[in-house]
Structures are given as structure tokens and as C-alpha cells.
């Protein structure tokens, strides 16, 4: 019998996945023996949602893209009952050339494959084997050595070697130790951790338990943002199921090792992703960072040694234990081993989740895997690392995915948000966007982070409004350096990066705003001129919408914008149904 799996990750649900699922369920009532219905997490091809995979008993299958409830009837009729696949709806083949061939799935091994609500499916795909091996065949030191051999580095942004961190926590003195999984995912353009938690929550829990054994901790927390209700529900379910099976709880696999995991919901502050702030938040305090050292490995939660890692870091661990550290280290470059998951977004054809071996170039990801730029526009830059990261210009995108190489450009690897920008993106506006974010998220403890980012934002706003001067550029650089030096935590220390990298690579765009009073990408409202072209039908909608009566014209005749009255609000542009209003 065929199995039907509906992708119900967050983006699948947003695209209408639950309605598709419901439609299959309704069909099932009429044809109870036609197929087995299941759900799964993010398959990765978010750009073709809703995705439905059909597989036969032997496990081979194919995936339908852009499925709507209306299409379900025909899928059931032709394919599931009639055994005739509907070729024109299938994704893959020519349209998706290069998408899978260039990826390597370690972290995402189960995402979009298994039902994340079923621990049995996780077990069937090798789940909890690694924990069993750890507890029955390995000493904590063996585990740490294996992780060191793998070369795994923290995927939360800092890139600190994971094995070394575990060694520190193991070596720290203390009667009680904690493991924390950082699932705060603060980068506003990223969704890797969320997709992993929604698609394969047990892998993260298993990784945490292995870490617990290695460092000598018996209690753990997952700190997950409250904005991720589905991920939290999945985690709760996976914890409950693991306890029932005896994979979590007391004396796991008959050993002396006990391990319990609790969930803490974050309360919406970006700075709480910083490890010391996160710990304060779990303790019920305001989530403000504190000076390090002592590092959490020495004194963390409630003052006890605490090992904190990112979701993706933990999700790698079971694979490393089962396949060996050297198998992991076989992928990648000299100092960046294994794979990295990226959330691809922006002006890219195939947006979604990809996992690639370290060492491939940014261009390979954008063009070979993700199919290039939407509408064949000119590729301008990628932004990596979110508010802490920077923009890499198209000319430099032969840069390899490697911690050092990316740092050289002024950007950072970050946690995996990769936003692609084309000629219609204004780089000054992008810098302003990130600074608006960091400025409002600064916890306010450090004067430079609090006031300095505010000054910088004011300058950027001035430039976007056409009021900037060339001196402003020098001031931006100077303020940046002061903030970097005088801030306590990573938020302040990295907040200027988006500004510095755009100043470095796109200075001409800043200058165009200042000297020519033009926004080359036609984004900054104050620098646009609105005019009406021949497509105008004289429908009068724009004239009615204009708040300053800057548009005149008789009914059914060409309308005109009077520039002296126009305040550039853009209303006419949004209301015109004939694309007759032009901004330049």
C-alpha cells in the first residue's frame, strides 16, 4: 500500500498544509484502504509548498509540489487508486536540477522523512542507537574524544569547538551540572533550528543526553522561543515518548546514568540568545548578559557548571557517535568540518532549508542548489549571520563556506541565515534594517551599545532621507569602532558589522544617497520621484488617495503628479491598478 506524507513544517502549514492533510483524511473515509496518511517536517523545498510525498511499500517514492486541497481528489483518483503518477505535478527532475545532488544531509537526515510525532519512526531510522552505544560501550572521555575528532564547532554563531567546551564542563568542579540547548534562534531571517525541532526533535534530545553523559550532567533545559509553539509541542511530545521508552529518566539503558530534560519558553528578547543572558532568563531574571569569565562551563545556571550548545550542534552528535568523528571530519576544510544548514531566503528561486558540506562556495549554494535569482535579476550580495553578520558582495561569493574565509570578508558564518539580495535591494536600507533591530534589542547595560547604536541609526535615517553628509560616513565608522570596543556582549560587539560591511563594499550607494540624493535601488521613499505614465486610464483612484492633492487630471484622462506638492508617501503607487505610477 502506498504511503502519503504531507509536509507540515511551519511553512507547510502557512502554505495550507493542514487543509491538504484534511482533504486526504476526507478521502480516506471514502477509500479506507487506498493509502496510509502521515505527516512529516520540513522537506527543505519550502518554495514548492505544500509538498506531499507518495511512496510505495519498498520505500521508493516521489513528491508532489504546490498541492492544494483541490488537487487532492485527482491525486487519490489517478495515483493512489489508479496507480498512474501525475508527472506534471511532481517536483524533481529537470526543474530541481542540482538541488539534492549538491547537498549532504547529516543534521537534516530525518527532517521531512520521518513523522516527528512518532518516536518509533525515529528509532526505526537508527534513533537512540547512539545513546545506547555511548552508555554501554564508551566512557565519557571516549565521547569527548570522538566529538573532538569530528572537528564539530558550535553552530549557534560563535563556532567554538564543541569537544573542547565539553571537556571544560567535564573538568569543572561541582556536585551538580547542567546541559542547556539554545533554541532561541534570534536571527530575524533564520529558521534552521525551528525546522530541526519541528522535523526531528528526538535527534536534539538524544544529542543532549549524550552531552550530559560526557560532561556529567543529569539535568537539562531546552530554552525555546515562545514564538515557536509547534517546536515546543514537538519537544514535549518527544520528551514524553522518550521517557516512556526509558531513553530519558533514571538509569537509562540499565546504566547508572540518569537524565531529565525540561523546556523553558523564552519571552521574546534577542539578547536572551546570548548564553549568560539566557541563563539569567531561565533563573527568572531580566535577561541581561554578564561579564565572562567565569564562563558557564565553570559557573552557569544557579552557579553550577553548565554546558550550553545550539540546536544544530546537538543534532549532529548522534550521527557523529554512530559513524565516528573521522567520518564527519571527512567533509569540509582544514578548520571547518562537517556540514552546515542554511536557511535560504530573499530574492532566491528555491528558498528553504539546505544542508551543505563545508568548503563549497557561496555561489554553489545560490546558483547550483538554489537555482539563482528570482526573475533573473542582477545578483548583488548575500547577508550572512543576521544582525551580527555582514553583507558579502556578489563578486566575492566564490568565498568558501569556512569560518576563517567568511570572517575575512567581514561577515560571519553565523547560525545559518543566508539572505540573498538583488539590484532592487538598497544596501543602506539593509544596514538601517539591522541596526533598527539591534538598537531596539540592546539590553541597555552598556552605554555605547545603548546610545551608540541609536546615534548610528539616526545617521542612517538621515542618509536614507537624503539629508546625509559625507562626514556622516566617517562618523559611522568611528561610532562602530567605539561600540565594538566598549560593549560587554556579542550583541553590541557585532551590531556595527552590517554597517561596516556595506560601507566597505557598497560605499557608492551611500554616496549616491548623499551626493546625488538618489537611491539606486529605488527603495528609500524620500529619494524617489513619482510620475504617471501612459498606462494611466484616468480612473482617478490615485488622485483620491493622494493626501496632499498632488495629483490632478480629468476622469478618463491622463493624470499628472505635481512634484512641488508630492510628499512621496507612495500611496498612488500602491493604489494604481494599471501600473501607471512609476517611481524612480
Ligand X SMILES: Cc1cc2nc3c(=O)[nH]c(=O)nc-3n(C[C@H](O)[C@H](O)[C@H](O)COP(=O)(O)O)c2cc1C
Residues in 21-80 at the binding interface with ligand FES, rule: CB under 6 A: 42-46, 49, 51
The C-alpha atoms of residue 283 and residue 279 are separated, in whole angstroms, by 6
Let me know if 563 is exposed, middle or buried by CB neighbors in 10 A (0-12, 13-18, 19+).
exposed
Contacts with another protein, residue ranges (CB under 8 A): 9-11, 13-15, 46-47, 49, 186-191, 194-195, 226-228, 264-270, 281-287, 302, 343, 345-347, 351-352, 383, 386, 417, 419, 421, 425, 430, 433-434, 437, 443, 570-571, 574-575, 577
Is residue 524 reached through a cis peptide bond, with omega within 30 degrees of 0 on the bond before it? no
Nearest residue to 204 (alpha-carbon basis) of 223, 227, 189: 223
Q: Does 514 bind ligand FES (CB under 6 A)?
A: no
Among 504, 422, 516, 389, which residue's Cα sits nearest to residue 463?
A: 516
Interface mask toward ligand FES for 332-361; x: CB under 6 A: --------------------xx--------
Quote the cell numbers at residue 423. Answer: 539590484
Q: Who contacts 404 (Cβ-Cβ below 8 Å, separation ≥6)? A: 335, 336
Among 451, 523, 526, 566, the residue binding ligand SF4 under the rule CB under 6 A is: 566
Which CB sits closer to another protein, 419 or 519? 419
**Residue of 7, 44, 158, 346 interacting with ligand X (CB under 6 A):** 158
Contact by Cβ (8 Å): 150, 320: yes
Give residues 398-417 in contact with ligand X (rule: CB under 6 A).
415
Is 271 near ligand X (CB under 6 A)? yes
Report, in Å, the least distance between residue 154 CB and ligand X.
2
- DSSP 8-state code for residue 255: S
Backbone angles phi, psi at 181, to 5 degrees: -100, 120
- Partner residues linked to 332 by β-bridges: 337
In the list 548, 556, 579, 584, the residue contacting ligand SF4 (rule: CB under 6 A) is 548
Q: Which does 302 bind (CB under 5 to 8 A by kind): another protein, ligand SF4, ligand FES, none?
A: another protein
Which of 4, 5, 6, 12 binds ligand FES (CB under 6 A)? It is: 12
- Position 551 contacts ligand FES (CB under 6 A): no
Q: Which residue, 314 or 434, has its beta carbon nearer to another protein?
A: 434
Q: How far is the CB of 485 from ligand X (least distance, A)?
A: 16
The grid coordinates of residue 203 equal 535527534
C-alpha–C-alpha distance, residues 338 and 268, integer Å:
31
* Binds ligand SF4 (CB under 6 A): choice among 391, 396, 551, 576: 551
Tell me the C-alpha distance between 219 and 556, whole Å. 73
| CB closer to ligand FES, 131 vs 366 | 366
Torsion of CA 39, 45, 50, 52, to 10 degrees: -50
Distance between CA atoms of 538 and 554, rounded to whole angstroms? 7
Q: Which residues does 460 contact at the CB level (< 8 Å), separation at least 6?
A: 428, 431, 432, 435, 476, 499
Rounded to an integer, what distance in angstroms lies between the CA atom of residue 175 and that of residue 159?
A: 28
Among 209, 238, 288, 308, binds ligand X (CB under 6 A): 308
**Is residue 184 close enough to count as binding ligand X by CB under 6 A?**
yes
Chain positions contacting ligand SF4, by CB under 6 A: 271, 289, 442-446, 449-450, 487-489, 491-492, 530, 545-546, 548, 550-551, 561, 566-572
Interacting residues toward ligand X by CB under 6 A: 154-158, 160, 182, 184-186, 271, 273-275, 308-310, 313, 415, 489-491
Which positions lie near ligand FES, rule CB under 6 A?
A: 7, 9-12, 42-46, 49, 51, 189, 352-353
Amino acid at each position: 500500500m502506498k504511503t502519503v506524507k504531507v509536509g507540515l513544517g511551519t511553512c507547510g502549514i502557512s502554505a495550507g498544509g493542514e487543509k491538504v492533510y484534511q482533504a486526504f483524511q476526507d478521502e480516506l473515509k471514502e477509500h479506507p484502504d487506498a493509502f496510509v496518511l502521515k505527516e512529516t517536517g520540513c522537506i527543505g523545498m519550502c518554495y514548492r509548498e505544500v509538498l506531499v510525498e507518495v511512496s510505495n511499500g519498498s520505500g521508493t517514492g516521489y513528491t508532489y509540489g504546490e498541492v492544494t486541497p483541490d488537487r487532492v481528489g485527482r491525486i487519490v483518483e489517478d495515483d493512489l487508486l489508479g496507480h498512474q503518477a501525475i508527472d506534471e505535478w511532481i517536483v524533481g527532475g529537470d526543474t530541481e536540477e542540482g538541488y539534492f545532488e549538491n547537498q549532504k544531509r547529516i543534521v537534516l537526515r530525518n527532517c521531512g522523512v520521518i513523522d516527528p510525532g512518532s518516536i518509533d519512526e525515529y528509532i526505526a531510522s537508527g534513533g537512540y542507537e547512539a545513546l545506547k552505544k555511548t552508555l554501554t560501550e564508551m566512557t565519557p572521555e571516549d565521547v569527548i574524544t570522538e566529538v573532538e575528532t569530528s572537528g564539530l564547532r558550535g553552530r549557534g554563531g560563535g563556532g567554538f569547538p564543541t569537544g573542547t567546551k565539553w571537556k571544560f564542563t567535564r573538568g569543572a568542579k561541582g556536585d551538580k551540572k547542567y546541559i542547556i540547548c539554545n533554541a532561541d534562534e534570534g536571527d530575524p531571517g533564520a529558521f534552521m533550528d525551528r525546522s530541526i525541532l519541528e522535523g526531528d526533535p528526538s535527534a536534539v534530545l538524544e544529542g543532549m543526553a549524550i552531552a550530559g553523559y560526557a560532561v556529567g550532567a543529569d539535568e537539562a533545559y531546552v530554552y525555546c522561543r515562545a514564538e515557536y509553539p509547534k517546536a515546543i509541542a514537538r519537544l514535549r511530545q518527544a520528551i514524553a515518548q522518550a521517557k516512556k521508552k526509558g531513553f530519558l529518566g533514571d538509569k537509562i539503558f540499565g546504566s547508572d546514568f540518569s537524565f531529565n530534560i525540561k523546556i523553558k519558553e523564552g519571552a521574546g528578547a534577542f539578547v536572551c540568545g546570548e548564553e549568560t543572558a539566557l541563563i539569567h532568563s531561565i533563573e527568572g531574571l531580566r535577561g541581561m548578559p554578564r561579564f565572562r569569565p567565569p564562563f558557564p562551563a565553570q559557573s552557569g545556571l544557579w552557579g553550577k557548571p553548565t554546558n550550553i550548545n545550539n540546536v544544530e550542534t546537538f543534532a549532529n552528535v548522534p550521527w557523529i557517535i554512530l559513524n565516528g568523528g573521522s567520518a564527519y571530519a571527512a567533509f569540509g576544510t582544514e578548520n571547518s568540518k562537517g556540514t552546515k544548514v542554511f536557511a535560504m531566503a530573499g530574492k532566491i528561486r528555491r528558498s528553504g532549508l539546505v544542508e551543505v558540506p563545508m568548503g563549497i562556495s557561496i555561489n554553489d549554494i545560490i546558483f547550483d542548489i538554489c537555482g539563482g535569482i528570482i526573475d533573473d535579476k542582477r545578483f548583488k550580495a548575500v547577508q550572512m549571520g543576521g544582525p551580527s553578520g555582514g553583507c558579502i558582495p556578489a563578486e566575492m561569493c566564490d568565498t568558501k563556506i569556512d569560518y576563517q574565509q567568511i570572517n575575512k570578508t567581514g561577515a560571519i558564518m553565523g547560525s545559518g541565515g543566508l539572505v540573498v539580495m538583488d539590484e532592487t535591494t538598497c544596501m543602506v536600507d539593509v544596514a538601517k534594517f539591522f541596526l533598527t533591530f539591534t538598537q531596539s534589542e540592546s539590553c541597555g547595560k552598556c552605554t555605547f551599545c545603548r546610545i551608540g547604536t541609536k546615534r548610528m541609526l539616526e545617521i542612517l535615517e538621515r542618509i536614507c532621507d537624503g539629508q546625509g553628509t559625507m562626514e556622516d560616513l566617517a562618523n559611522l565608522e568611528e561610532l562602530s569602532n567605539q561600540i565594538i570596543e566598549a560593549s560587554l556582549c556579542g550583541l553590541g560587539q557585532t551590531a556595527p558589522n552590517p554597517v561596516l560591511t556595506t560601507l566597505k563594499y557598497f560605499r557608492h550607494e551611500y554616496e549616491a544617497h548623499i551626493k546625488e540624493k538618489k537611491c539606486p535601488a529605488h527603495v528609500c521613499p524620500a529619494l524617489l520621484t513619482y510620475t504617471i505614465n501612459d498606462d494611466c486610464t484616468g480612473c482617478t483612484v490615485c488622485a483620491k488617495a493622494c493626501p496632499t492633492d498632488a495629483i490632478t487630471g480629468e476622469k478618463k484622462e491622463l493624470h499628472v503628479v505635481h512634484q512641488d506638492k508630492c510628499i512621496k508617501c507612495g500611496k498612488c503607487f500602491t493604489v494604481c491598478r494599471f501600473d501607471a505610477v512609476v517611481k524612480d
